[in-house]
Amino acid sequence: MKTTAQVVVIGGGVVGCSVLYHLTKKGWSDVMLLERDQLTSGSTWHAAGGFHTLNGDPNVAMLQSYTVGLYKELEEISGQSCGLHLSAGIMLADTPERLEFLKTTVAKGRYLGMATEIISVQEAKTYFPFIEDQHFIGALLDPNEGHLDPSGTTYAYAKAAKLGGATIEVQTKAESLEQKPNGTWRVITNKGVVECEHVVNAGGLWAREVGRMVGIELPVLAMEHMYLVTDEIPEIGEYNRSTGKDIAHVIDFGAECYLRQEGKGIVLGAYEKACVPWSPKTTPWSFGQELLQPDLDRIALSLEVAFRHFPRLENAGIKRVINGPFTFAPDGNPLVGPVRGRTNFWSACGVMAGFSQGGGVGLALSNWMVDGDPGFDIWGMDVARYGDWATRTFTNAKVRENYSRRFSIRFPNEELPAGRPLQTTPLYDTFLAQGAVMGDSWGMETPLWFAPPGEKAEDIVSFHRSNDFEPIKAECLAVREAVGVTEIANFAKYEITGAGAEAWLLQVMTNTMPKQGRLMLTPMLNHQGKIIGDFTVAKAAEHRYMMWGSSQAQVNHMRWFEQTLPKDGSVKIEALGMKLIGLSIAGPNARALLQRLTDDDVLNEAFKFMDYREMEVATVKAQVNRVTYTGDLGYEIWVAPEYQRRLYGSIQAAGADLGLKNFGMRALLCLRLEKNFGTWYREFRPIYGPFEAGLDRFIKLDKPDFIGRVAAIKEKQDGPKRQRVFMVVDALDADVMGDEPIWVDGKVAGWVTSGGFGHFVNQSLAQGYLPTELVKPGVQLEIEILGERRPARLQMDPPFDPEAKRMRM
């Protein structure tokens, strides 16, 4: 066995083999894969082999599309058949809500170039003849679905990788990992030691154990999963002969099951509510190519419904039942990328759909390792989307929830309960007592809206405007006409100190840095000149800066900061988490309210827009930013958590006669929309350049140097190819949610990034991206909402306070 390699990939399932192949494709040939048993001997060998391109996250969907398109190439290179059957797939709608969901899915797919369409039940029967019409009202057709041979596909990746120079060692278990002081790794195996620069964890069912070798607890859990294979059904052979096609892959949401052809029979697998985790704490190393004990009672409910929906199947005999484990992250998407705090230790695990996603995971990870960037927007799969709060038992609760809801609709206003409440602020109970409906913001409970007295504090889930519409309107109007208070604890907050702090900030951020006592807004770019962050920075003192950003990106951002900090220790950065939490007051009466709480002068001349000040508010030491995301006069007041209740109580008492009202996160998002403020993860993502995103004024190209400057100069010189736009929509009773296509002249020309109702301006609003040549006054737009194209128009200025006087009043 070789004793050195540039990369050691641990795990010979479909994912590890894909990573290995993609590394060789990128030109790294000194790469080695270690497999403790034989290739495929984790989850891979007993998979049902289905593949599809659809995913709730359009960026993950694109990588799935890549995976499905890859198999032909793989067969050609390796000479190994993947056993492809491109049978097409249909998803059956049994309720109006499900049909609406499928229409939004088709709409999302349009701008990704996917060929999905809504078809009638009659047409669906031409793909899957066993459907009993009366139970369904429509279907989605995806021509790019099918199934393959899991083992053949894994070996095809492995052969193609070997042809590219890779080495594969089977019966070779990585037993422990040691990092040397120079950052390189020693992989200790049962056959000796391999020294390498990079380690990839593609351990599948054992990914947690491999993570533990470097002291991390990855949020992954294996679940038992069952499918059965029926005896031959003569009609299938007849169908194959008469049409020349396989029977299509089917998802029946009502029965929570999937079906496809296998030989001349049917595979039927279910995602049952009564799901069962497998090896919740530790996966035994002794687990070989084994199956688990089937328990058909667990999926009896699914079978009962499926037999009602497809009666012909009820009498088909069962040839075999497979029960096997495979892994999930809490949200069901993979965990990919460099692990924060562990140099050159890469994650490629939690892949629950290895045959839809394995290719995309391999491609993105190999790009990341070789080029320093995944090359795509893979935020939805980044291992850094979870923090320490995603513990093993939290993961257990969330994975079970996710598994049992695999075929359930997730409505845009739906919050999922498992594992909650996890992190709460001192005001949690107070807000609940005041009618708050809480949402989960990356592990932290955040008030979304407040139900009026006497009304139930609960969302009625829907794709349409719902029971929160009027209460949110009242909250928005209170902010615009008087004053509102909201909790803003769910921001990421950082303190940056040291003699090198300013120089480092100037290097990683695009804007100049503020003077002492002032704030500055700044995007952050990667080396390719794409947006990877969006921050507010305050200079608190010489060599001390405070910074606020997106909480969900905190681990991702800390990983980037730690990579870019000078090695001489001249800069320190701390993510403050719950050490600093805040309340924001906003609206025309906000200054009067703040003045009642402090003996500092907060008049406009003394405390200007974009000022930062350390002061006492309600007798509490606070840091106050004169800025709010509402686009109104307002302040963010940051305090230590032990003072938050006092601060809130004082604000309530002092604001009673000023028209003070609580407002939640949903009102905040409506208010920012009226100002056309973008938001991280929707308008600002690593697929957009700063000029496309309209962030021109925060990009100081005349600064000596900063990361992404060269690419940003090029973007500016070439002119952005697309632009962020603001639109007013002629909506009926449903506003945009994000990811809807924008039509121009009967063609899909762009997409929506976010939107909703602007209650103060009384208009349905949307933001999105369009090709630059279409961004001109008078262009006729349509936005597809729930399957219907609604007229929309471009609006160049924000509808609320276009001259930005309110923030400065």
Taking CB under 6 A as the criterion, the residue among 174, 525, 581, 669 binding ligand FAD is 174
Indicate whether 594 belongs to the interface with ligand FAD (CB under 6 A). no
Per-position x/- string for 300-329, each x denoting binding to ligand FAD as judged by CB under 6 A, each - no binding = ----------------------x-xxx---
Q: What is 222-256 written as a DSSP string?
A: EEEEEEEEE---HHHHHHHHHHSSPPPEEEETTTT
CB atoms within 10 A of CB 714: 11
Q: Does 352 participate in binding ligand FAD (rule CB under 6 A)?
A: yes
By C-beta, is 324 or 549 nearer to ligand FAD? 324
Between residues 203 and 686, which has the closer beta carbon with respect to ligand FAD? 203
Question: How crowded is residue 460: how many other Cβ atoms within 10 Å of its Cβ?
Answer: 11
Among 21, 127, 355, 684, which residue sits at the site for ligand FAD (rule: CB under 6 A)? 355
* Binding string, residues 733-772; x marks residues near ligand FAD by CB under 6 A: ----------------------------------------
Separation CA 291–CA 513 (nearest Å): 59
Based on the shown chain and the rule CB under 6 A, indicate whether residue 70 belongs to the binding site for ligand FAD. Answer: no
Which residues have a Cβ under 8 Å from the Cβ of 283 and sit 6 or more positions away? 205, 206, 208, 209, 222
Which stretch, 114-122, 344-352, 438-446, 738-746, contacts ligand FAD (CB under 6 A)?
344-352
Task: Fill in the amino acid letter for 599.
Answer: D
CA distance 343 to 183: 6
Closest CA to 464 of 413, 408, 410: 413
DSSP character string of 502-545: HHHHHHHBSSPPPPBTBEEEEEEE-TTS-EEEEEEEEEEETTEE
- Is the CB of 7 or the CB of 593 nearer to ligand FAD? 7
Q: Quick check: 152 binds ligand FAD (CB under 6 A)?
A: no
Tokens of residue 139, six digits = 């279907």
Residues 392-411 touching ligand FAD, rule: CB under 6 A, are none
Using CB under 6 A, pick the residue from 353, 627, 693, 765 that binds ligand FAD. 353
C-beta closer to ligand FAD: residue 345 or 800: 345
Q: Residue 145 or 401: which CB sits closer to ligand FAD?
A: 145
Q: Which residues pair with 198 in a beta bridge?
A: 7
CB atoms within 10 A of CB 315: 10
State the nearest-atom distance from the C-beta of 220 to ligand FAD, in Å: 10
**According to the binding rule CB under 6 A, does residue 44 interact with ligand FAD?**
yes
Cα distances from 310 to residues 48, 135, 191, in angstroms, run 20, 10, 53
DSSP assignment letter at 154: H
367 — alpha (psi -120 to 50), left (phi > 0) or beta? alpha
Give the separation between CA 141 and CA 147, rounded to whole angstroms: 16
Q: How far is the CB of 325 from ligand FAD (least distance, A)?
A: 6
CB 177 within 8 A of CB 185: yes
CA angle 17, 226, 36 (to 5 degrees): 30
Residue 105 or residue 356: which is nearer to ligand FAD going by CB? 356
- The β-bridge partners of 92 are 139, 252
345 lies in the binding site for ligand FAD (CB under 6 A) = no
Please give the single-letter amino acid code of residue 741: P
Q: What is the separation, in whole angstroms, between the first and last Cα of the chain?
A: 72
Our CB check for ligand FAD shows the closer of 43 and 65 to be 43
**Contact mark string toward ligand FAD, 179..218, x via CB under 6 A:** -----------------------xxxxx---x--------
Contact flag: residue 47 with ligand FAD (CB under 6 A): yes
Residue from 13, 689, 694, 720 that binds ligand FAD (CB under 6 A)?
13
Which tokens belong to 509? Answer: 């951020």
Cβ proximity to ligand FAD: between 210 and 492 the closer is: 210
Residue among 50, 277, 588, 750 that touches ligand FAD (CB under 6 A): 50
Give the closest residue to 46 by CA, choosing from 84, 14, 10.
14
Distance set, CA 194 to CA 3, 197, 218, 349, 797 (Å): 4, 10, 24, 22, 60
58 is a contact residue toward ligand FAD (CB under 6 A): no
Task: Report if residue 15 touches ligand FAD, rule: CB under 6 A.
Answer: yes
| Interatomic CA distance for residues 279 and 286, integer angstroms | 12
Per CB under 6 A, which of residues 214..243 are in contact with ligand FAD?
225, 227
By three-state DSSP, how is residue 806 classified?
helix
Give the total of residues touching ligand FAD (CB under 6 A). Answer: 42
Interface pick for ligand FAD out of 36, 309, 465, 724 (rule CB under 6 A): 36
Helix boundaries (H) for 682-727: 709-718
The yes or no reply on residue 351 touching ligand FAD (CB under 6 A) is yes
Segment lying near ligand FAD (by CB under 6 A), choices 306-314, 352-360, 364-372, 628-636: 352-360
User: Could you give the 3-state DSSP secondary structure of residue 797?
Assistant: coil
Of 190 and 516, the one with the shorter C-beta distance to ligand FAD is 190
**Which of 5, 12, 437, 524 contacts ligand FAD by CB under 6 A?**
12
Binding status of residue 500 toward ligand FAD by CB under 6 A: no
Supply the minimum distance, in Å, between the C-beta of residue 352 and ligand FAD.
5
Q: Which residues of the shown chain bind ligand FAD in the complex (CB under 6 A)?
A: 10-16, 34-37, 41-44, 46-51, 173-174, 202-206, 210, 225, 227, 322, 324-326, 349, 351-356
